Amino acid sequence: MIDIRGRVAFLTGAAEGLGREIARELVAGGMRVALMDVQGDKLAALTDELRSGGADVLPIVVDLADPVATAAAVETALGHYGTPRVLIHNAAVLREVSLLDVTFENWRREVDIILGGAYVLTKSVWAHMVEARDGSIVFLSSGSALFGFVKETAYTPGKHAQEGLMKVLALEGREHNIAVNTMSTGRPIDTPMSDSHYTEEMRIGIVPPARLAPAFAFLAGVDADFATGQRFNAFQVSEAIRVTREAAG
């Protein structure tokens, strides 16, 4: 495990939901964080909150469906902070639309944010991590990476493909000491995404997103020798951390 204090994280989807809690957790762990999101106002509010607590964070407003803008956002973060210890691609959108009703443009946008974002973000930091022989990359997984769900015409294939990308990059990253893993939530989480899409049945066992955040600080500190090519469960990892901390007093 690597000490993450003073190290750099690039995080997407930071403005609200799970991403905002991950940002708070990484900052609490002493990391400097490039916060990327398409929602400028909410990103600015989070930046003010974190900076008022003394954190070193850089907000970057970017639409991750746009590969050119995404690569430029990473360049901005690299120029400001240098090579990140961890890249966490957390942003996603979920639209439930049948094949009859979806347009190619809307289908493509969802896949571009989930899978295209994972590719462009990783491609943009990869050579830097290779040179550093150090890095951890985490993509947000989901039950939709393993199973099909009604009307998830783009989200489910996007999450499945992201899992495949992780497996391939983990093989390539091993010789460069770059860990590449995915993190499922393990539980439904109470966020804007679940508010707008989940049925009562899907909300069974729902937890606040802050409950999962420790798992991301944990993965920020792993290298390929410890774990790569794995699909972690954020709820289980975070619970294990919580119990260990409680036992330690």
Ligand X SMILES: NC(=O)c1ccc[n+]([C@@H]2O[C@H](COP(=O)([O-])OP(=O)(O)OC[C@H]3O[C@@H](n4cnc5c(N)ncnc54)[C@H](O)[C@@H]3O)[C@@H](O)[C@H]2O)c1
Per-residue DSSP letter, 211: G
Closer of 170 and 183 to ligand X (Cβ) = 183
> Is position 189 an interface residue for ligand X (rule: CB under 6 A)?
yes
The DSSP H or E segment spanning 139 is strand 135-140
Only one of the segments 52-60, 61-69, 122-130, 146-154 lies at the binding site for ligand X (rule: CB under 6 A); that segment is 61-69
Which strands form 8-12's sheet, in the order they lie side by side?
57-61, 32-37, 8-12, 86-89, 135-140, 178-184, 231-233
- Interface residue with ligand X among 149, 188, 207, 240 (CB under 6 A) is 188
- Interface residue with ligand X among 4, 8, 38, 166 (CB under 6 A) is 38
> Is position 153 an interface residue for ligand X (rule: CB under 6 A)?
no
List the interface residues with ligand X, window 110-129 (CB under 6 A).
Answer: 113
With contact defined as beta carbons under 8 Å apart, do 69 and 37 qualify?
no
In whole angstroms, the minimum distance from the beta carbon of 177 to ligand X comes to 26
Structure tokens, 131: 């040179």
- Interface residue with ligand X among 15, 137, 215, 219 (CB under 6 A) is 15
> Is position 83 an interface residue for ligand X (rule: CB under 6 A)?
no
What are the backbone dihedrals phi and psi of residue 226, each rounded to the nearest 5 degrees, phi first? -80, -50
| C-alpha separations of 195 from 53, 71, 198, 202, 229 in Å | 29, 31, 6, 11, 31
The binding site for ligand X (CB under 6 A) comprises 12-13, 15-19, 37-39, 62-65, 90-93, 113, 140, 142, 185, 188-189, 191-194
